[in-house]
Amino acid sequence: MIALYILLGLLGLLLLLILIAVVRTLLAPRLHSDYQAPPADDRAALYAEKLSRMVAYETVSVPDTDQREKFLGFHRLLEELFPLVHQHLEKTEIDGNLLFHWEGLYHDKPLVLMSHQDVVPAEGQWLHEPFSGDFADGKVWGRGASDTKCSVMGFFQAAEELLREGYVPPQDVYLSSSCTEEYAGPGCPKLVAELQRRGVKPFLVCDEGGGIITDPIGGIPGNFAMMGVFEKGKADVRFTARSDGGHASAPPRNSPIVRLADFERHMERRSPFQKKFEPEVRAMFERLAPYAGFGMRLLFSNFWLFQPLLKLVMPMVSNLAGAMLRTTIAFTMQSGSDACNVLPQEASVWANMRFIPHQGMEESLALTRRIAEKYRLEMEVLSASDYSRATDIEGEGWKLAVRVVQQTFPGLPVSPYVMTGATDAKCYQEICDNIIRFAPVIYGPEQMKGMHGVNENIEISCLPGAVDFYRNLIAAMGSL
């Protein structure tokens, strides 16, 4: 009987807490994100023409290949498009990577504006040729239009216009652009090393990565400024199973491919990686919650009650949402026998891992290795790097970036964002505490699908806002 009373008491307490959460949610008004880019005008057409020419110049980067001459050709195009930048700023070129220094009134809190020149290969059937730079249907089409020559154009054009006006920035400004970002190559580290050699410690770095994302999470409609504050780490790993091989007519138990399959199933269905809401992830959902329907508002506005439930349901909301909570492993390539009737003496599967701060590179790899050994697999780490340090979302750099977004895009909600991919910005954490990953252009579903896919494009109506964002950010450094 006592146990029953205790159970009823706990049930009553739970119902009371749920009632409190419901009342809190009902009392908090639902918000709406109504920001849209203004219709394209003459400025948009001018910027689209410049971006079109940049896209039409093929800058696919290839690992372990000397491509400096190709990128020097792209630099000559930049000089034609942005002559004042090249006349007035100090230019440094390192193996195709670019660094421009614009001297300001003061030098104690430099600003770095950065994005990469290189693009990934273009495969498949495109509506417009991938290196055409076609301007059609209010969009610039082609590889690099959204990832990320749009932001390179944006900050070069911002500097060009300010120079034409005779403007002197309040702080030193650096324009940084590597040509090896797409394969995490040595370009950006070389630029950072050059800044280290000069003794430069930027106050703020603004790279690509986030952006103005349309419908960032299922159930939350509208445009939102999603500003990346840290990146997950990553590793490429190979798992190998061995045997004596043999003829497929008399198959043994636990052949190499079966062991690999069992291991893959184990990692997917019984993941060893812990789910946890990092402070930045929790802040993201709390800031997005007022824009959701009642059910999501109830859950995300009351973490104090529903956090255990949210850990379970987040992967159901979206794959991206689930990836923000834990280390992930994705199996991407596989090899075995060369014939259908031959058992392989060796079979392998390759995987890409992404590490979360609460369970970083060393712990995640150790957990994975222990499970692989249970299935008699060899594990080889081909490359690995840990997660990046997080930018303080209560700090001066973050608040400055938020003010500039609100100034440039009135009515646009702002939220921190966790990069599940990788950018060059990570290289700057050696010399800078405030790193924001935000390309100030609109990425709708079509643009998100085209990034590294087919039919990449960008709406030209959002290009003036990108230029204005960089102009305003340069000016805002005077308020520090």
Supply the residues annotated as catalytic: 118, 181
Contact 97, 116 (CB under 8 A): no
Q: Tokens 């060796």 appear where?
A: 346
Distances (CA, A) of 184 to 16, 279, 365, 425, 447: 52, 27, 20, 11, 22
List the beta bridge partners of residue 227: 416
Read off the amino acid at residue 263: F
Phi first, then psi, for residue 359 (nearest 5°) are -150, 75
Q: What tokens does 226 get?
A: 């999603």
- Which 8-state DSSP code applies to residue 356? B
* 3-class secondary structure, 328: strand
Q: Tokens 């003010």 appear where?
A: 403
Burial of 261 (C-beta count, 10 Å sphere; 0-12/13-18/19+):
middle
Contact 55, 131 (CB under 8 A): yes
End-to-end alpha-carbon separation of the chain, Å? Answer: 66
Distance, CA of 427 to chain centre: 14
Instruction: Residue 341: count other Cβ atoms within 10 Å of its Cβ.
Output: 8
Q: C-alpha angle 227/445/269, rounded to 5°?
A: 80
247 contact partners, CB below 8 Å, separation of at least 6: 341, 342, 343
Q: C-alpha angle 180/185/188, rounded to 5°?
A: 70
- Which 8-state DSSP code applies to residue 332? E
Read off the amino acid at residue 63: P
Cα–Cα distance between 70 and 148 in angstroms, integer? 18
List, as one string, the DSSP characters of 225-252. EEEEEEE-EEEEEEEEEE---EETTSPP
Q: C-alpha angle 97/107/115, rounded to 5°?
A: 30
In this structure, the chain runs to a length of 480
- Element holding 18 (H helix, E strand): helix 2-27
Q: How many CA atoms are closer than 13 Å to the CA of 422, on its beta-carbon side?
A: 23
